[in-house]
């Protein structure tokens, strides 16, 4: 089984070098490692060539975003397995070996690894993606003790920061939807691969320590705009509320409070504009069947999580790394 690792990056040279060093120490070596540099200005490409000459670097003239950068490498790769890791993770030595092991089962097309919080290594950052009844996505076991992984069920899909995919189905699906610049692209791909008949496995012992991304800022206006676009695009593309008035009400109860906070407290129109733009963009796509049968989070639990997250934001109770620059801003559905 030939394994290729793809890492997109932007102005994170030192983080990326630490990630590559951890990949060099794997018990199961990658057959190929590709770094896709989204027009970094910090000398990333030169540093990788100098310190990791076995790594192939693809340089983009501009920032293509997360999914498009991965597609540029992955859609032309000759391998059996595509592994994705964020540039801000340090993989345990057995990470690759354990991540690809579930692909020995012929029905498994996706594998979710486990991201561990760098600031709190006894807690989970993500063990894959789960969905609620509105197709809002959540990081499995976010901020829960690692011990709970022993009883975790298989997620709907992997988080793009620690994921393995069978490469041929990934390529047949066209890879990530490039309408999604960043955030929600792994959710959308998981839905499409499930529709094609593939299922996801959780590799609970494939772990990587996650410094929680250093690209956009976890609570930055840019992150909020991208999250608003991703949520709106997925809702429109999958026609989640069409003919389902109760679902439309549930979506409003989950999403509008956060959008109201952006408008009233932060005085930001950006998330609202992006939500509307996403709806137009999503409705222009051929309709996809809403796979509501994949939902494992009941509406009451989703509502509890959402309001608990808002309360943590107001009280300053979020883990430290959510206040620092990062690629994601908390629970996947609330951000990503």
pLDDT band at 261 (very low <50, low <70, confident <90, very high): confident
pLDDT at 319 over 70: no
Can you give the residue ranges of every domain in the chain? 3-210, 221-334
Residue matched to tokens 């920061």: 161
Pairing verdict, β 81-85 and 89-91: unpaired
- Of 60-64, 70-74, 319-323, the range with the lowest mean pLDDT is 319-323
pLDDT at 203 over 60: yes
* pTM of this structure: 0.91
pLDDT band at 212 (very low <50, low <70, confident <90, very high): low
pLDDT band at 336 (very low <50, low <70, confident <90, very high): very low
**pLDDT for residue 308:** 86
Mean pLDDT, to the nearest integer, of 301-329?
64
pLDDT at 321 over 80: no
CATH number for the domain running over 3-210: 3.90.550.10
């Amino acid at each position: 089984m030939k394994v290729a690792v793809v890492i997109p990056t932007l102005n994170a040279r030192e983080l990326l070098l630490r990630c590559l060093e951890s990949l060099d120490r794997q018990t199961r070596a990658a057959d190929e490692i590709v770094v896709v540099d989204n027009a970094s200005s910090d000398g990333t490409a030169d540093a990788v060539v100098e310190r990791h000459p076995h790594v192939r670097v693809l340089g983009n003239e501009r920032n293509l975003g997360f999914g498009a950068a991965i597609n540029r490498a992955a859609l032309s790769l000759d391998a059996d397995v595509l592994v994705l890791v964020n540039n801000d993770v340090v993989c345990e030595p057995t990470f690759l070996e354990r991540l690809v092991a579930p692909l020995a089962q012929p029905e498994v097309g996706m594998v979710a690894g486990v991201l561990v919080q760098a600031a709190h290594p006894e807690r989970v950052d993500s063990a894959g993606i789960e969905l609620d009844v509105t197709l809002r996505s959540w990081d499995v076991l976010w901020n829960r003790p690692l011990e709970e992984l022993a009883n975790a069920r298989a997620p709907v899909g992997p988080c793009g920061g620690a994921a393995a995919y069978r490469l041929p189905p990934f390529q047949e699906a066209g890879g990530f939807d490039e309408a999604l610049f960043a955030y929600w692209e792994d959710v959308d791909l998981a839905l499409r691969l499930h529709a094609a008949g593939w299922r996801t496995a959780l590799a609970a012992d494939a772990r990587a320590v996650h410094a929680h991304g250093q690209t956009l800022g976890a609570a930055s206006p840019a992150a909020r705009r991208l999250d608003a676009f991703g949520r709106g695009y997925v809702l429109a593309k999958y026609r989640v509320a069409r003919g389902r008035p109760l679902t439309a009400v549930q979506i409003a109860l989950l999403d509008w409070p956060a959008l109201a906070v952006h408008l009233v407290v932060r005085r930001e129109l950006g998330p609202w504009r992006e939500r509307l733009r996403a709806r137009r963009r999503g409705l222009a796509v051929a309709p996809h069947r809403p796979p509501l049968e994949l939902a494992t989070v009941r509406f009451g639990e989703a509502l509890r999580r959402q309001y608990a997250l808002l309360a943590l934001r107001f009280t300053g109770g979020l883990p430290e790394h959510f206040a620092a620059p990062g690629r994601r801003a908390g629970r996947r559905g609330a951000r990503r």
